[in-house]
Chains A and B, each alone.
Chain A
């Protein structure tokens, strides 16, 4: 789960990490008032759950209160298209108005989980303000990586080293306090990413976290209730949200073939194989270990809601989910949800025969495929409005 910058800064404040004075605003007039309250100049920052805001025009500096209002007027409701959002962009609904900092120099600091070493790792650089990927490309010698042993934590000697590397001798004590607090945040809030870019040295010599990015491990939200409450639902796709509340794992894509699959790997593979057969997947959907009639019905409902979808591919490999249970689920679901487009079903694995029997007895029309490539070809043809070849012997078309 991603946090907004202002939410991340709220958390940092609780740990005594200095952030600019600021307020979240929802209307241009708020921005106008807040800018006067804070003292000018101010920075207006779009609060959207995506990176690359600055380059996309989501950050403005206002020197007068009127300017603040004017920028706010421009930004509110604007569709921000960044490198990460794709062409659909994201609507700006909130602006963080902050007192502009008097910056001497910009640093980079982040903590991530390094999948190679399986350890939290601090990444820091004297070259803040630009993306760390860019620094890695142009100045690889300026990147410091410090792996942390989870048993002993972020140790004094490691923090000391960072002070030398980042030229923070003048603010030695302050820096040590901030670095160790950041690691504490990372652990105590179950972050998967905590990034300050930039962390700045002010003209006054003090440090300030001018930007903050915080991603929380979804698996740990059960024990971070205070963080879970911060989830901003306004930016999520409504279909994806509905799916999540029903226990489904759904991601919307651009194509016209709806997919319902058990297992994340097989769901991804199903998308890939459809594409290779000349079709375009409309979604990723993992029904997971709980393929009940309700979840399957919900899956059908969400898939068929998209008018682009012309055919559905159900791909089930019975393991935890048994095929007979899924077949029953499909039959039950089709009693409550009307599906008027062709459905290709491929069932295999645990209790396949029982599952096929159930489908055969049903009064619904299915196309049954025996393996992955056959199913993908079939559904791709059907989505194009073509009829599938009758000479495929394995294929079975049931009508009643």
Chain B
């Protein structure tokens, strides 16, 4: 079954004529994703790798009926691009763009909550259901279809985790990068619920990092019995100095809050299998699932 994106997903790429947009639209298409249209204002009528380009999302929706939008628009215009997709009735939006001002996202978040839109990102690698659809910038070949769902704040760390899980002889149901910014469209809880409902998913891997309290909130949800499937977690940034923004805008320890210790503690208390050495993510999951006779 997988989660959120399927073989049938019809994808629109906003910012398709840019360097990143055109490259990744092609890469997604090669992976097997149905890319039905692209949008770049002023470039309507052109084609990118056989994909028709429109001036507006509205027009693209009318002509090609996409149900997911993948956004590569530069930061000053990205919030507007998200809202344009929302305005045209698209309910699943994946925003790759890094560097969107927080106050722009504050407004976007307000709108998507009201409209019931699922926004993945921004500042994320996207979402992939291996073998069915890749809607993002991840290298497709490291993923294998299987039973572990992955939720990650970081892009490269999502790849690392998926790669280890694949090498451990397991696969992934759906992998989602929720984004490294302080304000993102979806949190762990949203995806934990989705993975709980998905019959294909047997276990969930949470890849967290320092900053904010999204992991602590997820721990609370898990503790209350929000998910019955085994959950694993790794938190990056144990060695990060406080008060410094570690690459991602959201990865910063403020005072005592947002530390890896606090997140690990909360997750452990919630019964999550915490993996403290990132070199052993795949092995640990395989071992536990074998012991539990899930695989």
Contact = CB atoms under 8 A, between A and B. Distances in A.
B101 A219 contact: yes
A350 interface: yes
A113 interface: yes
10 contacts: A133-B255, A151-B110, A262-B156, A265-B153, A265-B209, A266-B154, A268-B210, A281-B239, A317-B159, A349-B163
B139 A268 contact: no
A60 interface: no
A149 B247 CA distance: 29
B239 A217 contact: no
Nearest to B107: A150
User: Top 5 A-B pairs ranked by shortest CB distance?
Assistant: A265-B154, A264-B247, A373-B279, A263-B156, A265-B157
Interface of B: 20, 75-76, 99-107, 109-110, 125, 137-139, 141-142, 152-160, 163-164, 167, 180, 182-183, 207, 209-210, 212-214, 217, 234, 236-251, 255-256, 276-280
Contact of B246 (A218, A220, A251): A251
Nearest to B252: A192
A389 to B, nearest CB: 17
Given A84-B243, A249-B247, A272-B239, A223 B76 contact: yes
A118 B183 contact: yes
Contacts of B239: 253, 268, 271-272, 274-275, 281
Given A264-B180, A317-B159, A220 B103 contact: yes
B190 to A, nearest CB: 13
A272 B182 contact: no
Given A220-B101, A271-B239, A272-B236, A265 B155 contact: yes
Interface string A99-134: 000000000000001011011100000000000010
B251 A268 contact: yes
Given A217-B103, A219-B102, A286 B163 contact: no
A269 interface: yes
Given A263-B157, A320-B137, A371-B279, 13 more contacts: A118-B105, A118-B106, A120-B106, A150-B106, A190-B102, A190-B103, A192-B102, A222-B75, A222-B76, A265-B248, A268-B236, A269-B234, A275-B238
B94 to A, nearest CB: 15
A348 interface: yes
A387 B238 CA distance: 28
Question: Most chain-B Cβ atoms within 10 A of its Cβ — which of A133, A219, A286?
Answer: A219
Nearest to A261: B156
A379 interface: no
Nearest to B114: A151
A145 to B, nearest CB: 15
Contacts of A264: 154, 180, 209, 246-248, 251
B279 A118 contact: no
A164 B23 CA distance: 58
Interface of A: 84, 86, 113, 115-116, 118-120, 133, 149-151, 187, 190, 192, 217-220, 222-223, 249, 251, 253, 261-269, 271-276, 281, 284, 286, 317-320, 348-350, 371-374, 376
A113 B182 CA distance: 9
A272 B277 CA distance: 8
Contacts of B238: 272, 275
Contact of B101 (A217, A251, A265, A267): A217
A319 B247 contact: no
Given A268-B240, A317-B160, A376-B279, A284 B155 contact: no
Contact of B247 (A286, A349, A372): A286
A284 B237 CA distance: 10
B139 A251 contact: no
Contacts of A119: 106, 110
Given A113-B182, A284-B247, A373-B280, A268 B209 contact: yes
A269 B157 contact: yes
A319 B182 contact: no
Nearest to B278: A269
Contact of A116 (B137, B217, B240): B217
Contact of B142 (A219, A273, A274, A349): A349
Nearest to B256: A133
A286 B256 CA distance: 25
Contact of A348 (B101, B137, B163, B279): B163
A316 to B, nearest CB: 9
Nearest to A118: B109
A318 B160 contact: no
A349 B279 contact: no
Contacts of A118: 105-106, 109-110, 183
A175 B294 CA distance: 62
